[in-house]
Structure formats: C-alpha cells, structure tokens
C-alpha cells in the first residue's frame, strides 16, 4: 500500500524572517558546488563540496550537519572545521513531518565553523565518502493505511538521496542553490532539481545539474533510466523510466504539456525549466521541485494521469514555487488539492461529488476532541489531519471563490504567486492578495476559517410560498456559535430551477425570496459548496464510515466451512491489531451493538440478513449466486463483495457485509479497501484482486430538502458551476469536424457503392493517412486493398479498403496487430435498403459513419508520434452497408497481419451524437473489456455503457466471426439513421472529442499489453473455416415498427427508448419504456431475435406484439409499414 506524500520542502518561521527581509535573492542562499561519484555495487558515494556561505548568513560557531556514516575531511578554506557531536538524531526536513521520530534512522554529526569574520562570506571545501544504504521499510497507519519509505539508499536497483539523508552538508534553516556533477556507471542516468547542464557518456556517465533558484535541499535520483522529453514552450517535459516504454512516456509528456499550459494561464509562468516523471523501484508518490518520483505500479494505474500527477505538478507553484511557513499553517496542501484534484472533478462535472466526499470525510473522522485550526496544520499523518488540512482548506478556498467571484479568485492567486515566488507565503499573505484584488475586507472570513475550529450544521426548518414570495427558515444547530456563511439555495419548479445565495450569521434566520412560478422543491447547499458537517442522511453509507469509527467490531461466522473460517480469521488478523478493533464470532452475540462500525464477514454470518434487508431500499438484492447491483449481477464465487448499509438500530453507524471469494484475495482486500472509502458497495475479482464493481447508494431524507408539492416531479436539473480552468484538448476538434463536413458533402454523393464519391472518399482518407506519417499497408505497398462485389443493379463493382499501419517495435510480437476500424461508405442515393420515401435522395451519412472516420484520422495523427510494441492497423472499410463486405474481405485477405494474430478489433461506427455515456457493443467477447473501460473512465472521466446484449450490426462482427475479441464504439441511436437528415450539422464536436479520447486510451493500451485478451468466443462449429468468405450483400428489412430499441437494456426482451410519430408502433399504442417479449408469436428475448422476427414480414402485414408495461403484459396489433 502506498500513500501520496508531497515531498516539496519549505521553510520554518525563523527562516521566513530572512526571506521576507532579503527578498529570497541568491545572495541569501548557501551555494554548493559538488563533484559526486556513485558506486551502486558497493552502496557508496564519494563527493567534494565547495560551500559558499554569504556574509548575511555567516555566524561564528555555526553548525553544519552531515550524515554520520560519511567520512568528512576539510580540504580547502581558512575557517576552522571541527566535529563537536556525532550520532545525533536527524531532524526530518520539509513537509513530511509525520515520519519525524525521536529515534531517527539517519544519524548526523555536528561540525562547528570557527574563525569567521563578520560581514564576510565563508568558503570551504569538504571531501566526503561512505556507504548510504537504508532499506525500504513498511510504515503502517492504523487499520486503514500504510506506505513504504527510505531516508536514503544507494544500491544496484537505484539511488535515492534527499535532504533527510544529510548527504549534503546542511546549515539549519537556510535555502541553497547548487551546481553538481554526478558520475555513475555508463548505463545509468541521474535526476535532480534545476536544469541539466552536462550530459556525457564514456567509460562512465556524467550529468551536471544546476539550480539557480532557492531550494531547501538537493535531491539526487539515479538508475538505469530510459529517457524521453517533449518541449513545452521554454520548459522541457521529461520522463525517466526504468524500462523503455515510449507509449507510456508519450502519455505522460502530453499530459504534462496539457496541465502545464493550463496552470501557466491560470496562475503564471512555471517556475522551473523542466518537469519530469521519474519511475522509482518502490511504490512512492513524491513530488519534488521540478519532478515527481512515482513507483512502477503507481505510474501504470490509469487514474494517476488525471489525479495525483497534476497534483504533484501543481506543487511546483504551491510549495516549491511559493514556500510554506509551517508555524502559521500549511495552506499549500489544501490549495493544491483544490486546484488539482477538485479542478479535475469539476472539469468532469463531478465537483459537487468531490466536495461531498470532503465533507463526508470530515464528518466521519473529525469530532470536537480531534478538530484543530488550519493554523496548526503542518502535514498529513492520519485521517483527521487529512480531513482538516486538505479537506477543510480546500472547502475554505471554495467558499472564498464564491465570495469574490471566479475572476477575482484567479487574479488574486496570480498576485499572490507574483509577490511570493521563491519566498515564504502565509494564509495572511493570501488574504492580503485577495483584499487588494477584490477590494473586500476578508479579515473576519480568514479568522473564522483559519483560526477557529468547528463547522456549521444546517437544517431547513420551514419552506412556504405565498404568491411570488418563498419564505425559508434556516437553522444552525451545531454547539459552536453561529458561523457567518453564504448559503446556496436551489428552488425548483416543475421545469425550471433558480439559484439564490443567502447571507446567514444567526442561529435561526428567516429569508424571503422572490421566485417565478410555483416552487415544488427547495434544496439548501445542493452542490456542497459550504464547509459544514453533514447530517447522516446526506451521506450514503460507505466504507469511510467504517474506517472512521472510534469502535470497530468484526463478526466472524461460526457456522461455515473450515476453509471459510480460516479465510475470515486471516482477514480479521490483518485488521484486528489495533486497540479499537474487537473480533468476535456471531455465536457469541445475541444482537449487534448499536454503536461503532460492524464488519460482518461471510455470507454464512448469522447477521448477514441485516445487509440483505437493507438492500431493499436501494436498487440491489441478494441472489442465489451472489448480489445484484442495479442491472449488474455479481457472482460471489468469482468476486469478493463489500456492502455498506446503515445499522437499523442506529442509522448514524454503518454495517459492512464482506465476502471473500478466495484465500489469495484477502491480503489485497485489506490493502486496497481503505482507498475506496467513498463507496457504498464494491466487488473485486481475481487474486490481486481487481475492482470489478463499485458505486454509492443514493442519500435519502436530507434535512436540507423540502418537498412543497409531492404530486409534481420536476424535470429541471441544476447545472454545475463552470470549471475554474480547462485543459487544452489533445485533439483538433475543428479538423475532425472538417473531415465530417467534407465526407458528408454533396460532392461525395453519400459515398455509395458505385459512385465517384466513394472513390473520392477513399483517396481523401489515404491522403490523410499519408500526411499523418503512418505507413501504407494495402496491396503491393499501396494504401488500398481492392476487391469486387455486386453493386446496384446487380452489376460488379470494384471497391477498396484503405489501410495504414503504425508498425510495432517489439520483434516478439511480430505479425500481431490491433485493428482500429471504421467504415467510410454509406447509402449514396439510397442503396442498399433505401426507405421508399427517400429513394433517389443523397444520404450524407455524417454520423454514419463520417464521424467514425473523422475520429480515426485524428487518432492516426496523434498515435503516429510513438511506436507501440504491437502494430496498430487503421482500417477504413468499404461496403459495410452492403453486408460488412470490406471487413470480411480484410480478415480473409490480409497476409502481413493475419486474422489469427489480431488480438483485438476496436470499431468506430456512428459516434457523432454520444450522450452522457458512450455505448460499447461486444464487451462480452473478452473478459478484460470490462476492466479496460473501467480504466478509461478513471483516466478520462468519460462514462461508458457496456451493452450486454449482442448487437452485431457493424464491422466488428466480421472479427467476432473469426474468433477475434471485438468491440463497437457507438454514440447513440437517432431518428436520422439511414435518412437524408444525417447531415454534418447534426454531429456534435463534444461527442467526437469524447470518443477520440476514449478510443486512444483503449487502442494504445492494447498496443502495449504484453499478453492477448482472454477471449470468450467459441466457434459454433469446430469444423467451420476460421476465416469466412465475404457474405452476400444485405437484403435489408422491408418493414418498420418505428420503435427505437434501448441498446443499454440488459434484461430479457427488447426495451423501447422512443417511438416515431405516425409509425406502425405509434398507431398501435406502443410506448417508450415498453419491453417487447413476443412478436408475431415468436419469443423475443434479445435484439437479435427481434430483428430476425421483423425480417419475416411485408408492408401491410398485421402482427400481434406482446409488451411488458410495468407489471402488466399488454397485447398490441401493429400494421407494419414500409421502411
């Protein structure tokens, strides 16, 4: 287990006086000029250090502290240098004070300097040598957390030296600048702060690092690194990886460039010349000036790129750019959390959820005994200090933003940064910057939130309407004196919502608001913008309730198998070491206690029925084989499950039911669950185990909500506040839209088979591929793969796929490929399967499928920048509308990258009008798809819906037919499908951007994944050929019901999402929400059976259709109409 410890270093109050008076100039810093030789094999270091102490800092008798394991000799300088003490405990440097123990691992020796002349600088040169090799050790925090660390080591896996190692002579409470040369084995590379000024490799490798800006310590990291870089203006984005991985490096470099530009615009210039990702050999999450040191597993977690990574980058402004005075409070952690973690959530429309999680942690972990003012926060060392130091500080800045407005908020922090760059900044300095910018007096605001403790607790006591006046009574019910707060209120009518801000400073206060229309619902602080203590009904029961409890009971099942007894005893042993955890058997209890958190281990537990009963109030239930969360069935034999519910005897407490599916998963569950604290339910599969399901129960019964009219359900939704800043897109949206416009233009005649427009489209795609820098992969080195088919009027027509490749670099994966496909043909003037009403009209096919081609062309440009391990084929197919002919020809005819070596197909079709969630068809073709898309959601924030029903209406089907795991990425069904109305102006830019980001994540992952996907496909006939011949063209259905299926529906039958006006379905009374279970006497359990049934009929036929409507079965008679 790891925790992210921002290791940026700062200055205590005594040095703050020096910086404030001396402006932090280089003249007030100690300068080190060092020559260093590292010998990893012997764990040793040799160094000379020429030290210059400016006159302003020079004092008779000053002490230098140096690691006691180093032999030290003065070799130059006139001042006296004498050891006066040795083996002393080393004081931890910087923010990581939670590990600053009385007995430190590192011991230091004290050397006194004498013979110093007042008003003159001091220069001396020291020679040092010795062994530094402190092993990585595990540090445990209660039963909720743990991490590993070392104060410094030199070994063959790598080198980690920091200020706390005391490998550099250290003068207490001073900043330094430095110029170092590092010599190491020829295949090693080093990283430090500042700019690299030397890079030579001969018998040894030699790096030079120069830091002209003040810092508190010198970090030195070294290993056998593969190095990558990307210029970002006048700054370098860099990556140092322990194994070569250009694809992953490129992801980090691009992400660095995005966030660096965003923060530059938001705050001001980046304060250093580089920012580097450095891979560590143990699991760390450290942020140093100008680089971050992350463990090998951590950098491969998909969510890191848009969570902890921007957090560490931002620390170069807050903490490493403006320093902290710990004696007056650490403001930088909460501000960084607000401008990084919270901002990412806000960009994804999840700001309210993020803020609720902050308040949830504070409510769960902090009470009157453990609370403390922000002035006293130095660093995080447990859940309480995190909830206050990070959470409360973040919420305070959110309220400050509300008070002054977004523009003043941004300008104030720009002012603060300009005035305090490479100086100490304090809460008071932030206040002054805001007062100067906004013109407001904010002394009372800062005194209330920085110097005081406690939090408001609110209730909405009354809400009544008379005419256009809405009267509200708000109460503050906390023990603390009333807070002076701005309270957001949302007032809903049947179809609108208004936002109001109320100024409250009394225990009970009445407000009158003028509103438009009849209020049906009132919500106080609906987006959790205030810092306050939540009522238990506002908080879904979650794991954080259990981890934050003062008392914890683990209840083991007595009546179960010996295997399960041992499994759960092992779980209890891992967590039961603390004083607050009591372990009992269910047979020892008559009833469950009312107080504290209770863990019920095992479904055989005598009290597990408490969990089962509680699920009734949510969209969940236990089944014979496991548990059902909404539409998702989770089998307990393959998944561990964790379900949090309220204690029926005390709703403020939580009961957690836990089942473990095998012995191997127990240790991983104990390690991972504390990081999933906000969730109400979880499932984990495999031995690791891997998360397979997660979610939160809805919160019900909030005292801050009043329903004024229960007969009306409002359709209005409160819009989230715009994000404080936005990332610059990786993709060129205008270019994608121009592709769509060109491909859907009249000039291309709907790209129908047999038209000149189809040939023009093929050439356009080939030209775009060439401009992107990818390699042709068609026949005889061309871009095209040609074949003949039967076209309109049953005449033979030559058509062609367009194929490019980004060749893989790993020879072990030769011939293997990932195929990214999209069809570029459409219906032209209405062939095949034209609807009678549109015969002879151009069908532009903008969404279907100029949108998919546009995304593919943009991805070609983006992915061509780095070589994957496995080749990526970009396949623009033809004749999809005629029966997937292009895709079927590809899997039959491609020789260089044969179908037998395709590990996956990702197919883009109709992606121009995606809603909140992007649909994924084919997700059952490999067991990994579900986890891949969980990862993409974590990385990009893009929600997906894996459709469990088989919907094989696009080119991915050709790959499924030959046993290749394949998915179809799809936007949403529309009424313009296969109609002339499918025009370019109906395609959404945001949809293209969303699908491009999602697809890039998936394809790049498949390009570097070492092993194939685990296919779930089984040939229907073992004797059938592995590669099918091209199919005949589609005959097309003759009839239509006018009903649009709900593709996301996973139950039995076909659920209807909409019914077209004046259609056969509308005439017969078919409604949205109906579930078709029978069509003309044929049972309908899925979309395939429904489509097959439709194909039997002709226009004018009457057919009996049975639908499930609510709890009733309704029979309708449809007179089918021509398509």
Residue range(s) in the chain whose domain bears CATH number 3.40.630.10: 733-1008
| Contacts with 616 (C-beta within 8 Å, 6 or more apart), sequence order | none
Q: Does domain 1039-1122 have CATH number 2.30.42.10?
A: yes
- CATH fold label, 323-451: Neutral Protease; domain 2 (1.10.390)
Q: What is the pLDDT of residue 102?
A: 62
Residue range(s) in the chain whose domain bears CATH number 3.30.379: 543-695
Q: What is the 3-state secondary structure (H, E, C) of 905-960?
A: EEEECCCCCCCCEEEEECCCCECCHHHHHHHHHHHHCCEEEECCCCCCCCCHHHHH
Question: Would strands 122-131 and 137-141 be described as parallel, antiparallel, or unpaired?
Answer: unpaired
CA diameter of the chain: 110
The percent helix, strand, coil of the chain (3-state, each to 5) is 30, 30, 40
Rounded (5°) CA angle 1011-1012-1015: 145
Task: Please report the DSSP string for 1050-1102 in residue order.
Answer: -SSSEEEEEE-TTSHHHHHT--TT-EEEEETTEE--SHHHHHHHHTT--TT-E
**pTM to 2 decimal places:** 0.78
Burial of residue 241 (CB within 10 Å: 0-12, 13-18, 19+) is buried
Residue range(s) in the chain whose domain bears CATH number 1.10.390.10: 323-451
> Which residue from 756, 759, 644 is spatially nearest to 694, judged by alpha carbons?
644
Q: What is the pLDDT of residue 21?
A: 34
Dihedrals φ, ψ of 129, to 5°? -160, 155
Question: Would strands 917-921 and 943-946 be described as parallel, antiparallel, or unpaired?
Answer: parallel
Within 13 Å, how many C-alpha atoms sit on residue 460's CB side? 26
**Cα–chain center distance at 176:** 36
Among positive and negative, which fits the CA dihedral 981, 984, 985, 989?
Answer: positive
Q: Which CATH class is domain 733-1008?
A: alpha beta
The tokens of 51 are what? Answer: 């030290």
Give the integer Cα–Cα distance in Å for 473 and 510.
4
Task: Please report the DSSP string for 605-665 in residue order.
Answer: -TTTHHHHHHGGGTTEEE-SSEEEETTEEEETTTEEEEEEEEETTEEEEEEEEEE-SSSTH
CB 637 within 8 A of CB 625: yes
**CATH superfamily assigned to domain 458-534:** Aminopeptidase N, middle-beta domain (2.60.40.1840)
Successive 10-residue mean pLDDT values, the chain, 1123 residues: 33 34 57 97 98 95 96 96 94 53 84 94 97 81 55 95 95 93 96 92 93 92 95 93 89 92 95 95 89 91 86 94 93 97 94 94 94 95 94 98 97 97 95 98 98 97 96 97 97 95 97 95 97 92 87 94 95 77 94 94 96 91 91 89 95 94 92 89 91 87 93 89 91 95 96 95 97 96 96 92 95 94 94 81 95 97 88 97 95 95 97 92 91 85 84 90 95 89 94 94 91 82 42 58 82 86 90 91 87 88 91 90 81
Look-up of token digits 């593969």: 226
CB 546 within 8 A of CB 592: no
Give the integer Cα–Cα distance in Å for 942 and 347.
11
Per the DSSP assignment, residues forming a β-bridge with 921 are 968
CB 1075 within 8 A of CB 1056: yes
- C-alpha distances (whole Å) from 864 to each of 248, 857, 859, 868 are 14, 11, 8, 9
Q: Does domain 543-695 have CATH number 3.40.50?
A: no
The tokens of 1049 are what? Answer: 């529906």
Give the integer Cα–Cα distance in Å for 860 and 996.
11
- C-alpha distances (whole Å) from 722 to each of 347, 348, 349, 359, 719 are 8, 10, 8, 21, 9
Give the integer Cα–Cα distance in Å for 808 and 529.
49
Look-up of token digits 């005893």: 569
CB 1016 within 8 A of CB 924: yes
Q: How many CB atoms lie within 10 A of CB 197?
A: 12
b/e map 973-1012, b = 16+ CB within 10 Å: bbebebbbebbbebbbeebbbbbbbbbbbbbbbbbbbeeb
Task: Please report the DSSP string for 111-133 in residue order.
Answer: EEEE-PPTTS-EEEEEEEEEE-B
Give the integer Cα–Cα distance in Å for 179 and 207.
11
Q: What is the pLDDT of residue 92?
A: 64
Give the integer Cα–Cα distance in Å for 252 and 238.
8
Q: How many CB atoms lie within 10 A of CB 404?
A: 21
CB 1118 within 8 A of CB 1042: no
Residue range(s) in the chain whose domain bears CATH number 2.30.42.10: 1039-1122
End-to-end C-alpha distance for the chain, whole angstroms: 59
Three-class DSSP category at 78: coil
């Amino acid at each position: 287990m790891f925790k992210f410890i921002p290791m940026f270093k700062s200055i205590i109050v005594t040095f703050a006086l020096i910086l404030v008076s001396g402006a932090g100039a280089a003249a007030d810093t100690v300068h080190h000029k060092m020559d260093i030789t590292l010998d990893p094999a012997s764990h040793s270091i040799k160094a000379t250090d020429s030290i210059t102490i400016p006159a302003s800092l020079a004092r008779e008798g000053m002490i230098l502290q140096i690691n006691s394991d180093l032999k030290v000799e003065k070799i130059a300088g006139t001042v006296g240098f004498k050891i006066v003490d040795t083996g002393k405990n080393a004081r931890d440097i910087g923010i990581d004070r939670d590990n600053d123990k009385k007995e430190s691992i590192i011991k230091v020796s004290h050397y006194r300097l004498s013979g110093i002349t007042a008003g003159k600088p001091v220069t001396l040169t020291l020679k040092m040598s010795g062994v530094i090799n402190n092993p990585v050790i595990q540090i445990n925090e209660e039963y909720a957390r743990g991490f590993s660390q070392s104060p410094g080591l030199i070994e063959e896996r790598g080198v980690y030296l920091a200020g706390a190692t005391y490998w550099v002579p250290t003068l207490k409470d001073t900043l330094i600048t430095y110029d170092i040369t590092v010599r190491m084995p020829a295949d090693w590379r080093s990283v430090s702060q500042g700019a690299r000024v030397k890079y030579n490799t001969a018998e040894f490798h030699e790096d030079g690092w120069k830091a002209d800006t003040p810092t508190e310590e010198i970090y030195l990291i070294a290993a056998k690194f593969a190095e990558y870089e990307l210029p970002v203006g006048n700054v370098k984005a860099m990556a140092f990886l322990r194994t070569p991985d250009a694809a992953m490096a490129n992801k980090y470099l691009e992400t660095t460039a995005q966030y660096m530009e965003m923060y530059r615009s938001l705050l001001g210039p980046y304060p250093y010349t580089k920012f580097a990702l450095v891979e560590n050999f143990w699991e760390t999450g450290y942020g140093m000036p100008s680089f971050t040191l992350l463990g090998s597993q951590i950098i491969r977690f998909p969510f890191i790129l848009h969570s902890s990574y921007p957090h560490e980058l931002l620390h170069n402004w807050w903490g490493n750019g403006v320093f902290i005075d710990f004696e007056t409070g650490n403001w930088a952690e909460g501000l960084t959390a607000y401008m990084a973690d919270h901002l990412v959530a806000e960009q994804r429309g999840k700001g309210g959820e993020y803020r609720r999680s902050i308040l949830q942690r504070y409510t769960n972990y902090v009470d009157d005994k453990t609370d403390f003012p922000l002035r006293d926060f130095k660093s995080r060392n447990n859940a309480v200090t995190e909830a206050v130091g990070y959470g409360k500080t973040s919420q305070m800045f959110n309220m400050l933003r509300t008070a002054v407005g977004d523009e003043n908020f941004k300008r104030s922090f720009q002012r603060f940064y300009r005035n305090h760059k490479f100086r100490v900044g304090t809460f008071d300095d932030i206040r002054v910057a805001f007062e100067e910018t906004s013109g407001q007096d904010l002394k009372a605001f800062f005194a209330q939130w920085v110097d005081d403790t406690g939090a408001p607790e609110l209730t909405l006591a009354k809400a009544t309407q008379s005419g256009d006046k809405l009267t509200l009574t708000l109460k503050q019910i906390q023990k603390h004196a009333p807070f002076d707060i701005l309270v957001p209120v949302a007032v809903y009518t049947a179809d609108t919502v208004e936002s109001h801000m109320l100024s409250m400073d009394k225990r009970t206060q009445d407000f009158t608001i003028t509103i438009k229309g009849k209020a049906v619902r009132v919500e106080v602080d609906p987006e959790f913008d205030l810092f306050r203590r939540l009522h238990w009904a506002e908080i879904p029961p979650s794991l954080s309730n259990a981890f934050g409890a003062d008392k914890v009971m683990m209840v083991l099942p007595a009546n179960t198998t010996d295997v399960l007894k041992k499994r759960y005893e092992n779980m209890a042993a891992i967590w039961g070491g603390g004083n607050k955890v009591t372990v009992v058997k269910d047979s020892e209890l008559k009833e469950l206690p009312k107080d504290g958190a209770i863990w019920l281990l095992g479904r055989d537990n005598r009290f597990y029925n408490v969990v089962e009963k509680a699920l009734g109030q949510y969209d969940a239930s236990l089944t014979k084989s496991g548990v059902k969360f909404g539409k998702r069935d989770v089998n307990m034999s393959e998944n561990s499950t964790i379900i949090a519910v309220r204690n029926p005897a005390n709703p403020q407490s939580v009961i957690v039911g836990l089942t473990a599916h095998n012995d191997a998963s127990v240790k991983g569950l104990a390690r991972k669950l504390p990081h999933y604290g906000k969730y109400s339910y979880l499932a984990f599969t495999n031995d690791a185990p891997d998360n397979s399901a997660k979610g939160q129960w809805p919160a019900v019964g909030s005292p801050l909500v009043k329903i004024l009219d229960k007969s009306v359900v409002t359709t209005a939704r409160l819009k989230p506040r715009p994000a404080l800043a936005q990332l610059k897109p990786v993709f060129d949206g205008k270019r994608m839209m121009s592709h769509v416009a060109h491909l859907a233009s009249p000039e291309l005649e709907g790209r129908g088979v047999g038209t000149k427009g189809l040939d023009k489209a093929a050439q356009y795609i080939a030209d775009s591929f060439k401009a992107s820098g990818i390699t042709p992969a068609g026949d005889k080195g061309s871009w095209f793969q040609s074949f003949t088919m039967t076209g309109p009027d049953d005449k033979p027509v030559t058509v062609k796929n367009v194929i490019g490749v980004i060749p893989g670099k790993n020879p072990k994966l030769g011939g293997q490929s990932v195929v990214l496909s999209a069809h570029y043909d459409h219906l032209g003037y209405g062939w095949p399967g034209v609807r009678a009403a549109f015969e002879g009209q151009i069908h532009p096919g903008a969404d279907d499928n100029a949108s998919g081609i546009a995304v593919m062309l943009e991805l070609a440009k983006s992915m061509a920048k780095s070589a994957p391990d496995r080749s990526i084929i970009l396949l623009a197919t033809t004749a999809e509308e005629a029966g997937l002919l292009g895709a079927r020809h590809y899997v039959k005819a491609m020789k260089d990258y044969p179908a037998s070596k395709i590990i996956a197909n990702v197919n883009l079709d109709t992606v121009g009008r995606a809603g909140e969630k992007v649909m994924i068809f084919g997700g059952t073709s490999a067991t990994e798809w579900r986890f891949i898309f969980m990862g993409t959601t974590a990385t990009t924030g893009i929600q997906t819906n894996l459709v469990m029903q088989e919907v094989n209406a696009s080119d991915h089907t050709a790959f499924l037919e030959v046993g290749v795991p394949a998915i179809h990425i799809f936007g949403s069904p529309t009424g313009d499908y296969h109609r002339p109305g499918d025009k370019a102006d109906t395609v959404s830019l945001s949809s293209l951007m969303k699908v491009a980001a999602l697809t890039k994540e998936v394809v790049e992952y498949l390009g570097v994944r070492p092993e194939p996907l685990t296919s779930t496909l089984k040939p229907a006939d073992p004797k059938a050929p592995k590669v099918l011949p091209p199919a005949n063209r589609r005959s097309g259905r003759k009839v239509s019901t006018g009903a649009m299926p709900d593709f996301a529906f996973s139950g039995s039958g076909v659920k209807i999402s909409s019914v077209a006006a004046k259609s056969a379905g509308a005439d017969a009374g078919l409604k949205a929400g109906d579930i078709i279970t029978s069509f003309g006497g044929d049972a309908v359990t899925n979309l395939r059976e429904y489509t097959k049934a439709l194909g039997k009929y002709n226009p004018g036929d009457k057919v009996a259709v049975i639908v499930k409507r609510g709890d009733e079965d309704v029979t309708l008679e449809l007179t089918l109409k021509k398509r």
